[in-house]
A and B are shown apart, each in its own frame.
Chain A
Amino acid sequence: MEDVAIIGASMSQFGQRDAWIRELLAEAGQACLEDAGMSADAVDHLYVSNMASGEFEGQTGVPNALAHDLQAVPAYTARIDQTSSSGGAGIYAAWQSVASGASEVTLLVGGEKMTHRTTAEATDVIASLTHPCEYKHGLTLPSFAGLTARLYLDTYDAPRESLGKVAVKNHRNGVDNPHAQFRKEVDLDTVLDSPIVADPLRLYDFCPITDGSAALLFCPVSVAEEHADEYVRVSGIGGATDTHVVHERADPTTMRGVVESSDRAYEMADLSPDDVDVAELHDMFTILEFLQFEDLGFAEKGEGWRAIEEGRTERDGELPINTSGGLKSKGHPLGASGVAQAYEIVQQLRGDAGKRQVEADVGLACNVGGFGNCVTTAILEGVDA
């Protein structure tokens, strides 16, 4: 099995964009090839991470469209849909294609166009991933977050304010991310006084609806050694699932997909949680940052909230979390998010993160689909060729 490197990375401006899905994908794809100094005709496999371009825009067949728009024909193409974790699943597929030897150069582009839909419509498209027994009751992803947040706070005697501090931290990080949807700080009072959305969670506990795209270029380490002065190695990667029906989980505050996928990634990388210097977690809702922090092994169960209270996850803390601003501030264009998480880690490992830069040799990205239904965890390491 080939060791796999990432030699190119890009992301578009996240937010409310005039561009539609094809344009968004092409923007990130082209920028990624330029970043790597590669031409499109070198691409063997082209994957597109996207949840719902058909439902949102009425545009299907986006991988082939992108291959043509980038002049990457006759590259093999596939669309990777794993709901909100489509980006992470795309990383897994791209890694697999190179590691297996099926492809020498694989371009992964993630993207979603959402903001032309109303909140109610977008919420319904996302909620369509739920089981019929959930959908008929009007269950949405935000309502799962509210259910879980209440149970977490009650079970572990955590203060409501700790969730608000996640939003404050990630907004503060987003200020220094030129690609972020929101580049403004919010204070804790603003978070705690914002309208209730899914009790006990409020407006600022939720990520926005976003248009955007991101891309990564993969090749064997042997090729990267010759092609680039520095590159990022995919040291570990793992994917896993949890139950489709959320209430059937024995402990709703544990995301088994995060536990299983990270166990596999740590084992493959021969690393432990203590070795991770920086991480991007899927903070679609503030409560998810606590759950992943614990289930990735960074804290004991029920203790994750203490990290934000003690400042350990701040940019200058012992384990910076979501230096990009996270989904909370950067935005969450479903299919792009997992790819953009890895983009941030690549920037950190290459020393290209500007004001967001932290000291890091090992970074981790955890991308969650549904309410923990599907998860991919990737561990990346910076390498000087």
Chain B
Amino acid sequence: MSDDREGEQGEPSMRAGSETTRETATAAEDAPDAASVAGDDTPAFEAARYPDGSITYPAHPVGPGGEAPVGTVDLSEHTAEVITWTTSTATPPGVREPNHVAIVEFDVDGEPVRAIGQATTGDVDIGDEVEPVYCDRLRDPEAGIREPASQEWDGFRFRPVE
């Protein structure tokens, strides 16, 4: 056991296998090129609305009030406020490195809705206004442990509003 294993959950450059991480992360860097502001042909940033007026992202079979969703809301039509953010330099296989991520809060007609996702830049701060930007592949589905067919891999990043 050597001391350079300290903090292994966080520092790939200190472990064997980091080359693989970088290669796959580099491949995943293709994804930002696909980013664009949501338009008519992009999927919706879909949140669920429940009978009690609450909205969640993602949708759940049952909402906070105990009832099934009655509709959807497209969050891509709204801007949001950054609640907190981080830049991760220790990313799993197929994830860009560094990976900027943020928790944001939308205000949908007075109803708060939180979401999490990648940010287009690390140059953000708590309280900043951001807008959703569509990305057709957020990470390489083939590189990680999860079955690629089990979920979707596109989604929305958050970009600061100028």
Contacts and interface: CB of A to CB of B under 8 A. Distances in A.
B9 A122 contact: yes
Given A138-B138, A198-B90, A133 B9 contact: no
Contacts of A136: 138-139, 151-155
Contacts of A201: 10, 86
A206 interface: yes
A131 interface: yes
Interface stretch (A102-110, A148-156, A260-268): A148-156
Contacts of B150: 132
B17 A147 contact: no
A123 interface: yes
A137 interface: yes
B3 A182 contact: yes
B101 interface: yes
Interface in B1-49: 1, 3, 5-18, 20-21
B10 A151 contact: no
B124 to A, nearest CB: 11
Residue of B15, B17, B91, B150 with most partner-chain A CB within 10 A? B91
Contact of A245 (B58, B93, B144): B58
B94 to A, nearest CB: 8
A247 B138 contact: no
Contacts of B14: 119, 203
Contact of A135 (B11, B91, B99, B146): B146
Interface in A184-199: 184, 194-199
A307 to B, nearest CB: 23
B96 interface: yes
Interface string A166-180: 000000000000000
Contact of A123 (B83, B92, B151): B92
Contacts of B8: 119, 122, 206, 208-209
A245 B47 CA distance: 13
A137 B6 contact: no
Interface in B66-86: 83-86
B89 A119 contact: no
Contact of B117 (A16, A119, A137, A245): A137
A208 B58 contact: no
B21 A120 contact: yes
Contacts of B12: 118-120
A162 interface: no
A304 interface: no
Nearest to B157: A137
B101 A123 contact: no
Given A118-B18, A120-B21, A120-B91, A138 B6 contact: no
A202 to B, nearest CB: 8
Contacts of B7: 194, 197, 203-208
Interface residues of A, number: 59
Report, as a range, how many residues of chain B touch the other chain: 35 or more
Contacts of A15: 1
Given A122-B8, A204-B7, A151 B101 contact: no
Interface string A100-130: 0000000000000001001111111111100
Contacts of B161: none
A284 B7 CA distance: 10
Interface in A137-151: 137-143, 146-151
Contacts of B99: 137-138, 143
Contacts of B21: 118-120
Given A134-B116, A198-B87, A119 B152 contact: no
Interface in B104-162: 114-118, 122, 126, 138-139, 144-146, 150-155
B84 A148 contact: yes
A146 B101 CA distance: 10
Contacts of A123: 9, 90-92
Interface string A321-363: 0000000000000000000000000000000000000000000
Report the 5 A-B pairs with minimum CB-CB distance, sorted nearest first. Answer: A118-B17, A146-B86, A197-B10, A138-B95, A124-B92
Interface of B: 1, 3, 5-18, 20-21, 56-58, 83-96, 99, 101-103, 114-118, 122, 126, 138-139, 144-146, 150-155
Given A138-B138, A142-B10, 18 more contacts: A118-B21, A119-B12, A120-B21, A132-B150, A136-B139, A136-B154, A137-B99, A137-B139, A137-B155, A142-B90, A146-B88, A181-B1, A195-B11, A196-B87, A198-B88, A199-B87, A199-B122, A205-B10
